[in-house]
Amino acid sequence: MARRQAASAGTSANEAAPPPEKRRRVRIKPEERYREFVSKAVELFAEVGFDAGTRELAQRLDVTQPLLYRYFPSKGDLISAVYKEIYLDRWKPGWSGMIEDESEPLRTRLQHFYEDYTETIFTPEWLRIYMFAGLRGVDINARYVVNVETDLLMPMARAVRRELGLDPDAPIRPEEVELFWTLHGGIFYYGVRKVVYGFACPIGKEQMIANAVAAFLDGAASVMRGFAAEDASAPTAPSTRRRSPGSRR
Amino acid sequence: MARRQAASAGTSANEAAPPPEKRRRVRIKPEERYREFVSKAVELFAEVGFDAGTRELAQRLDVTQPLLYRYFPSKGDLISAVYKEIYLDRWKPGWSGMIEDESEPLRTRLQHFYEDYTETIFTPEWLRIYMFAGLRGVDINARYVVNVETDLLMPMARAVRRELGLDPDAPIRPEEVELFWTLHGGIFYYGVRKVVYGFACPIGKEQMIANAVAAFLDGAASVMRGFAAEDASAPTAPSTRRRSPGSRR
DNA sequence: CGCATCATTTATCGATTGATAAATAAGCAC
DNA sequence: GTGCTTATTTATCAATCGATAAATGATGCG
């Protein structure tokens, strides 16, 4: 917790930094600089968090700190650019189609989807920035979570319904979405343990996905059949608060 | 991102803080002060993160900032005390017994356990400090994760084995632990979405647990029977790398 | 080559940080 | 009440933060 101590143990003459070291000043196209900045900012913020200093970022870029303010009016704007890079640019629109495309069996589709999805998010950059952003209280994570529901979990729910011979176009119940969240969250948390907490997971990613999907699909079937039975017995007012098969009390 | 601006728009005479406001100075027993400090530090660090200032903490305690350094040699020691409060003091040793006690059906036990466990961890303080600590890279989360495995997940694995008529004393395979992690992580992530990301979960905690446990127990049964079959066909070298029933490739 | 543009650097400000030393006073023992 | 212990405050330091203004020089165009 001690402050960074004086780097060189030389004469602490109180004035004049030891190595003035004329800087080498190269000019680079603005667009390329911008990309450099955002890329390194993603890396730095993922390591340290959004409290990382602009001076440290400039040092990693081999540039002076005020130059950052030519490209980003404030540190907040730099952070917004980082958000965009992680949340928007790395999202693949093909994922929802991948889940609903019926040319392969459901289990295989989910396996392939989650292998691809986790290849995107199981990196220190993605996971750590996602967690840092969530803790900062910005609404971005809440919005991302909405995307996950509409573009990933609801397609999954429809796919499972087709598999079970249930109506895929009937409105998806909140309980169903929540059920798929447990699969999604379980897989997500594997990445957090491995990548963020540095925990040595003894099982490979593919095998973990295979087991999770297998167990989930088996178990979800009966639960979702239960949901459908409830809907059939009371077809009106389909959304609000009703018992689920496993719930007591 | 702008720095905190001058609180009062009065005369910025450059010197002399506007309200000297003699402080009221009450003496409190050291032990009680210590508890006060840790308690408020938990609250503050959970909100802001461990970069929260010692002055802000002192202000919330209605005390001056240097007083903190009489109780904690450095800010790092304060953080350690916060860790202890969250990770150690809030862990209930009875949980593992709760899972393995066979006086109730397994599904009921898991339901009750997770209701109790989530009552402990589904608070802003617990979840946010857990995430902040994990991102700081301290080993505490990795150690906590070991505790979860040995005291929660492995008891669950044994319980399910008994349920299925399998040998509960045979060594638990890594694949099995990993399988229970998906249940645990799925439930955990519900709390993160709700408490940390502020996402409005449409389903109550109890109902979500009920559905997750029901789906998982159904699905886990077949997967774990598959594990046992593999063990039976090759009883030696039980641990390393083998196919699981759901895995392709 | 000379010149203008603008990417980059130097210098610096005011605020805030963790931490230390010394002065002060609240509360208990007598 | 007197006095001692020590919990608490006042004052202050050096480092670091985000941000701004002005000086500088690399590059491309004529």
The DSSP letter of residue A104 is: S
Which tens digit of pLDDT belongs to each residue from B142-170?
999 999 999 999 999 999 999 999 999 99
Query: Which chain B residue's Cα is nearest to A202?
Result: B174
pLDDT at A202: 93
Percent of chain A surpassing pLDDT 70: 84
pLDDT of residue B245 exceeding 50: no
Contact check, Cβ <8 Å, A131/B128: no
Residue A119 region, left (φ>0) first, then alpha (ψ -120 to 50), else beta?
alpha
Distance CA A101, CA A146 (A): 22
- Token look-up 């190269």 returns A26
Q: Which nucleotides of D are covered by protein (CB under 7 A)?
A: 7-11, 15-22, 25-27
Residue A13, judged by CB atoms within 10 A of its CB (0-12, 13-18, 19+), counts as: exposed
Q: Are A191 and A122 in contact (CB under 8 A)?
A: yes
C-alpha of A196 from chain center: 12
- Whether CB of A7 is under 7 Å from strand D: the answer is no
Contact check, Cβ <8 Å, A182/B215: yes
Q: Are A239 and A173 in contact (CB under 8 A)?
A: yes
Residue A215: which of B185, B197, B216 has the nearest Cβ?
B216
Closest CA to B129 of A142, A131, A2, A138: A131
pLDDT at A24: 65
Percent of chain B surpassing pLDDT 70: 84
pLDDT at B28: 93
Query: Which chain B residue's Cα is nearest to A241?
Result: B203
pLDDT at A13: 38
Distance CA B57, CA B39 (A): 11
Query: pLDDT tens track of chain A, all 249 residues?
Result: 433 333 333 333 333 334 445 566 789 999 999 999 999 999 999 999 999 999 999 999 999 999 999 999 999 999 999 999 999 999 999 999 999 999 999 999 999 999 999 999 999 999 999 999 999 988 899 999 999 999 999 999 999 999 999 999 999 999 999 999 999 999 999 999 999 999 999 999 999 999 999 999 989 888 888 877 776 776 554 444 444 444 433
Closest CA to B129 of B38, B56, B4: B38
pLDDT at B234: 66
Mind telling me how many Å the CA of B222 is from chain A's nearest CA?
7
